[in-house]
Amino acid sequence: MTLYDQLPALVVAVLLFTAPIAYMLRMHGFPWAAATAAVVTSFIVACSLAATAIGGETIIYEMGGWPAPYGIVLHIDALSALMAMLITGASSAALIFGAKSLADEVGEETAPAFFAAWLLCTAGLVGMVITGDAFNIFVFMEISSLSTYVLISAGPDRRALISTYRYIVMGTVGATFYLIGVGFLYMVTGTLNTADLGARVGQVEDIRLVLVAAGFVSVGLAVKAAVFPLHSWMPNAYTFAPNAVTVFIAAASTKVSLYVLIRVDYAIFQNSIANHEVQLTLFLVPLGVMALFAGSLLAIYEKNLKRLLAYSSVSQIGYIALGIAMTSVAGLTGAIVHMFNHGLIKGGMFMAVACLALRYRTVNVANLAGAGKAMPWTMAAFVMGGLGLIGVPLTPGFISKWYLVLAALEKGWLGALLVAVILISSLLAVIYVWKVIEVAYFREPRANAVPVTEEAPMVMLIPTWIVVLTGIWFALDTSVSVGLASIAAKTLLGVAL
């Protein structure tokens, strides 16, 4: 076998191989360096997989050499490749960006465990998106969840522990629901391979167990994806995690649960349950619409900048849920592109927030007065991200909203209503982004405040701007992001490419 044939396994194997090494070798600076090297390698491999997948090709890699459905296979198509690129890219960017801030926040003694957890988290998330096995998804979900708890609890504030505890409870409920659903599916089909499940679920005579399984899987994944109103674990988890960790998990982690939701619903249930479109619409459209409004409103009234962005994520996840619920090529393309684009936007914004936090020692919006003058580059990056959240043309957010609006217009009067909802929530996004801009640019710092005169260090600014510019790149040249997403959408819906 050539190296090229081994790439699908390498994308996750390199991370799993490095994690124990990073944990065992307790040299100064080594864990960070090893983690960064492994994650960047994995990112390069993911990019080369995407290059194959963009031709519409699906790569099957048999783990242990055993064919499906007896063994576990990796199943990498356009959707998997796009997600793998997002996860490893976000992980690399956050690690490089956080080189200094993580060293301060984590400390020498706990660094090996922390960076091993970081590697495991990346491996868990990548493992979930490349596998073609429903139970294997659960195994890697466990790895990613447990390691995310470790990463969040490393936050400097003691409240990080309470937030982690809440997340553990909710995350475990979500994962257990998923497992119960997969158990029922195994009971009626005798297989765990996703493709095989898709073929065999349709042959089940009595659909009752399948329906219950679909319910458990969907609700469990909605909890893990922080779909409103199951988002309660998420804002505080983002707020109290170390800044670089927030960048990574905000960009990648909830998206992976949405990915699994798409994969399971479309690859397994779509063809086998009659009227599955209606069920999906009834489940996700109300939740999506509620998420758009509730998330935006909570963001408008929020004083802590990190939590504000977290609530904004709740509303942005609403867009993705709407796109998934439309069961059309345009809707699904919009949802998938928005997963990718929102990852880029939010990653960049949380990087800017980390820069602000470094100099201002606080992330309260009210205390950031004068940041526009003191830290022009950082605030410019933040504004670029904000424009993306609103969906202004020439930002990545515009592309995904464009596809969502196109998809909604296909749906008649309900679609017109959804377009109105999307527009109103974009206006709400203007309000919460403006709230920050107004304070940062137009308000004078308080007289008794310690003046901030220094811009963030270059080691943080450059990665931030690379992410921001990548976002603009994907807004101008959509051949990769929309290209992969539309192939993915067509494959999932069984439309000819």
Q: Interface with another protein by CB under 8 A: which residues?
A: 1, 6, 9, 13, 16-17, 19-21, 23-24, 61-66, 69-72, 110, 113-114, 116-117, 120, 123, 127, 133, 135-136, 139-140, 142-143, 146-147, 149-150, 153-154, 161, 180, 184, 186-191, 200, 206, 208-209, 212-213, 215
Query: Could you tell me the smallest distance in angstroms from the CB atom of residue 387 to another protein?
Result: 38
Phi, psi angle pair for 73, to nearest 5°? -115, 150
Residue type, 464: T
Q: Closer to another protein by CB, 144 or 236: give it.
A: 144
Query: Could you tell me the smallest distance in angstroms from the CB atom of residue 153 to another protein?
Result: 6
Give the whole-angstrom CA distance, residue 312 versus residue 299. Answer: 6
Cis ω on the peptide bond leading into residue 235 (within 30° of 0)? no
**Which residues fall within 8 angstroms of residue 470, CB to CB, at 6 or more apart?**
344
Q: Are 457 and 403 in contact (CB under 8 A)?
A: no
| Whole-number CA gyration radius for the chain | 22
Q: Closer to another protein by CB, 105 or 302: give it.
A: 105
- Residue carrying structure tokens 């994520």: 313
Query: Could you tell me the smallest distance in angstroms from the CB atom of residue 10 to another protein?
Result: 8
Q: Closer to another protein by CB, 8 or 318: give it.
A: 8
Query: Could you tell me the smallest distance in angstroms from the CB atom of residue 408 to another protein?
Result: 32
Q: Closer to another protein by CB, 142 or 277: give it.
A: 142
Task: State the CB neighbour count (10 A cutoff) for residue 421.
Answer: 19
**Which residues fall within 8 angstroms of residue 441, CB to CB, at 6 or more apart?**
371, 372, 373, 379
Q: Closer to another protein by CB, 33 or 209: give it.
A: 209
Query: Could you tell me the smallest distance in angstroms from the CB atom of residue 439 to another protein?
Result: 35
Which two three-digit tokens encode residue 407? 């998809």
Q: Closer to another protein by CB, 187 or 278: give it.
A: 187
Q: Closer to another protein by CB, 180 or 300: give it.
A: 180
Task: State the CB neighbour count (10 A cutoff) for residue 244.
Answer: 26
Query: Could you tell me the smallest distance in angstroms from the CB atom of residue 204 to another protein?
Result: 8
Query: Could you tell me the smallest distance in angstroms from the CB atom of residue 313 to another protein?
Result: 24
Q: Are 3 and 121 in contact (CB under 8 A)?
A: no
8-34 b/e with 16+ CB inside 10 Å = b? bebbbebbbebbebbbeeeeeeebbeb
Which two three-digit tokens encode residue 456? 């963030």
